[in-house]
A = this chain, B = another copy of it.
Amino acid sequence: MVSIDEKDKKILEILKKDSRTPYTEIAEKLKVSEATVRKRIESLREDDVIKKFTIEIDPQSLGYETVTLLGLDVEPKYFLKAVEEIREIDEVLWVAKSTGDHMIMTEIWAEDGDHLSRIMAEKIGEIEGIKDLCPAIILEKIR
């Protein structure tokens, strides 16, 4: 495990809320120099604590009206391979190896119910070993 101190945690918290916060502003809050902030952030990025700088997009603005948390049942021997294939599908945001009711969980952004039906039948359904799908439509997701 990478060693992380309270200052790093504070930086991560600030960047999580707004990753465009100027380094001078972060430096001021932490009472350190801007150079220190820069160095720490680059360290956190290199150590993969920060996995990426990204944006959070509103699915509905992009025309994705049907956001789904999809549980998948898969024949155990195809488990690892299926996870790899699912992550290659465009509409899949993330895929997780999970425990509980379903060994695979994934989040899908579809334009509407018809689009979701086609993704499930024609993309996910074609993956070897996939036996059953249990889609839960997300009514609203709050961070």
Interface residues of A (CB under 8 A from B): 1-2, 4, 9, 12, 15-20, 47-58, 60-63, 65-66, 68-69, 73, 75-80, 83, 87, 93-103, 105, 113-114, 116-118, 120-122, 124-126, 130-143
- Judge whether A54 and B19 touch: CB under 8 Å: yes
Contact A94 B141 (CB under 8 A): yes
A-B contact pairs, 19 of them (CB 8 A): A4-B63, A18-B53, A49-B57, A50-B57, A69-B96, A69-B98, A75-B125, A76-B120, A76-B125, A76-B130, A78-B121, A79-B117, A95-B142, A96-B139, A97-B113, A99-B99, A99-B139, A113-B139, A113-B140
- What is the CA–CA distance of A142 and B96 in the complex, to the nearest angstrom? 6
Quick one: copies of this chain in the complex?
Answer: 8
